[in-house]
Amino acid sequence: MIRKPPPTASIVQPGTGAKMHAPAAERNVDALCALLQRLCPEPGDALELASGTGQHVIRFAAQHPSLHWQPTEPDRDRRNSIDAWATEAGLPNIAPAQPLDACAPGWSARWPDRSLIIVVNLLHLISTPDAQTLVREAALALAPKGTLLIYGPFMRNGALTSEGDARFHASLVETDPDIGYKSDRDLMAWLALVGLPHVDLVEMPANNLGVIAKRTQGDRPV
């Protein structure tokens, strides 16, 4: 299940009305938008897992009007924040936020045939079995030419590559020994197991990583 984020990983400030503001979301949204623009996702339905405050989805929806965006979030207050941001943005291609635990088995049946699925800064906050469940369900939910984008901090080939990452990983494990950074190598193996063997790794600012898995002709969900 998606757990309550540790204090070191969840800095959210109150905004106007129901809106909440996450400084980290503000910092990384431009880089994420640039990466999405590069992907040129197929028109259709997009699903954002663990949408947080809603600061990302309004930018994504404005940039990709041919996609109908479905934000999801297990926390009620954050769903209210997503809807408040979306109402203010006034974009017709954002659906009301829905409750979803992306680590729960079976959710893919509710949202099938997604052109794009995106998850930002979540895998280091959940356990390895939960991350594997998320990857499997996302693969099942993808449309035949769909794209899965996973963004966040990762180990490279099983190793932490900066002092800042080592400190952050240690703080996560100290709070909950079941969570912490995952290795890009392991994630690629999990994706291959669920029928997504074609993976691109894109280095992003602040030593983050964009992991892009696109379903191509011949790939079959497992």
Give the residue ranges of DSSP H helices in the chain: 23-39, 55-63, 76-89, 128-141, 163-175, 184-193
Q: What is d(CA 135, CA 140) in angstroms, rounded to the nearest whole number?
A: 9
Q: Alpha carbon of 26 to those of 56, 128, 157: distances in Å? A: 8, 27, 29
Q: Is pLDDT of 3 > 70?
A: no
The pLDDT assigned to 186 comes to: 98
Contact 146, 67 (CB under 8 A): no
Instruction: Give the pLDDT score at 103.
Output: 97
Q: What is the pLDDT at residue 222?
A: 61
Q: How far apart are CA 204 and CA 121, in angstroms?
A: 13
Is it the case that residue 52 has pLDDT exceeding 70? yes
pLDDT at 220 over 90: no
pLDDT tens digits along 141-176: 999 999 999 999 999 999 999 999 999 999 999 999
With 90 as the cut, is the pLDDT of residue 47 above it? Answer: yes
Residue 202 to residue 182: CA distance in whole angstroms: 16
